[in-house]
A and B are shown apart, each in its own frame.
Chain A
């Protein structure tokens, strides 16, 4: 194994570790001898046992951040541990909003490089990321001082429990970072979404420019609901403001690996394909028979989405 001690940033939401944390912990056990977790937010004690099930033997808890964005205080706390001699060989982060902030801050603080957007990590430390819309994989290694900082895209590894017991929880302090720690959350807004989460749904129906106008996204939502799936979107219609960024599938959005992915009026820009080509089955509906999406679709329908999709919805409703 390339690494002795591996740390994983264990992000949680509503008292539960994120699914991606379990994926990272499973990988950490493969590449490292000892797996430990860094937590923040104030309720680590309540989910430490969940982390233990995936092989974590020790939890470092930064605790409540007093409303600060996590980037600066969590990076400061990790840097302080390292300065005291508690130095991991590698730290795994999810390519998430906060994961990126913390890893970026830590990288600059420690003057160490990062490898990001990883979809593979071998036990000799060789990391893989996809470029050109997922057509090409680049394998790279970090060199120089440790810890190596890796940011991994969700859904890259299958989570597997190790059956470990509850880990020891140690509080670690975030030293005062002065002006850099100035960003404070004043209000949180949770947008209600019904149905399964986009990155966990077995069926994803995504809409793109081919829908023509924002109102037609309802068609995508209705089809998703009928199939007990989640609606998604291409970057083009997120940029156009038709749907929130949280719906975006692709390089700059979410990676999804559903059983079925239905692309409605999406041409298949490389930036979109990298986020969905891991789907088991792909159905594409597009009026342009030259659209790149057809090159990866298991079933491609060359046709007008405004005609095909309403008929499909009617047929499904009639069952």
Chain B
């Protein structure tokens, strides 16, 4: 079974985010890392391929400046190869444009299953996987908290407002996984060394032959600071801080 995992390479979430003052889109220059949300998908894919007893995991990513640092993490975990689309014309691309690019790249692999995170940590638009599924002509199951493949059917426990649903669909399909669906492995030293020799195919928009190029469908009109909350009273616990909480709750007439 061949599985594609969509991988987003993002600015390190530990450092503060920035907006480009002219385009007002997220700055994605500098060193990028693999989005933590995607680690679960990579692990899930590796496990499913392992259970199937054959096939491989391909990572697909779109990132500026031919960035591959995040992809190397996934390759070190055990993915066989990666496809990276990098093109200056994609700067500031919206979710639908990105979905078109990823769908075109995924078609080259002809996978049985495509896995993505429910949403990225930085942009968190949250619609891309389903847009991509529609463009691929695949069914999709979102918010998977467990995934199994049985022959040509994928079986998913899908998170709902009230609990979860057991959902099935025939392959090929797109599945989005929630964090916690599996515990991602740490790359081994051997894996890290092996990753250096694994193929990363680098493509441009022209290579993908996307019709109509890149359309801009939205315009950022303004960026403003949100109304800030102020810090209030800080109490260091000397064994009686709970009394201050009780008082506070009394003031608010909650108790």
Contacts and interface: CB of A to CB of B under 8 A. Distances in A.
Contact of B180 (A117, A139, A240): A240
Main secondary structure of the interface of A (DSSP, over half): mixed
Interface string A144-184: 10000001000000000000000000000000001111111
B217 A308 contact: no
Contacts of B218: 113, 115, 140-143
B222 A139 contact: yes
A245 B176 CA distance: 14
B118 interface: yes
Interface string B151-172: 0000000111111111111100
A135 B170 contact: no
Contacts of A69: 140-141, 158, 167
B237 A300 contact: no
B165 A187 contact: yes
Nearest to B155: A186
Please tell me the size bucket of the interface on B.
Answer: 35 or more
A116 B233 CA distance: 35
Interface stretch (B45-53, B60-68, B83-91, B122-130): B122-130
B95 interface: yes
Contacts of A114: 95-96, 125, 127
B198 interface: no
B223 interface: yes
A109 B67 CA distance: 31
Interface residues of A, number: 94
Contacts of B241: 285, 301, 303, 308
Given A252-B119, A283-B248, A296-B231, A104 B254 contact: no
Contacts, number: 265
Contacts of B236: 289, 301-303
Interface of B: 16-17, 19, 24, 26, 37, 94-96, 99, 118-119, 121, 124-135, 137-143, 145, 158-170, 173, 178-180, 215-226, 228-237, 239, 241-246, 248-249, 252, 254-255
28 contacts: A97-B158, A104-B127, A108-B131, A114-B125, A114-B127, A117-B125, A131-B19, A132-B16, A135-B226, A135-B228, A136-B19, A136-B224, A137-B226, A138-B24, A139-B223, A141-B221, A180-B134, A182-B139, A186-B167, A191-B164, A246-B159, A260-B249, A277-B229, A282-B229, A283-B248, A303-B237, A304-B237, A311-B242
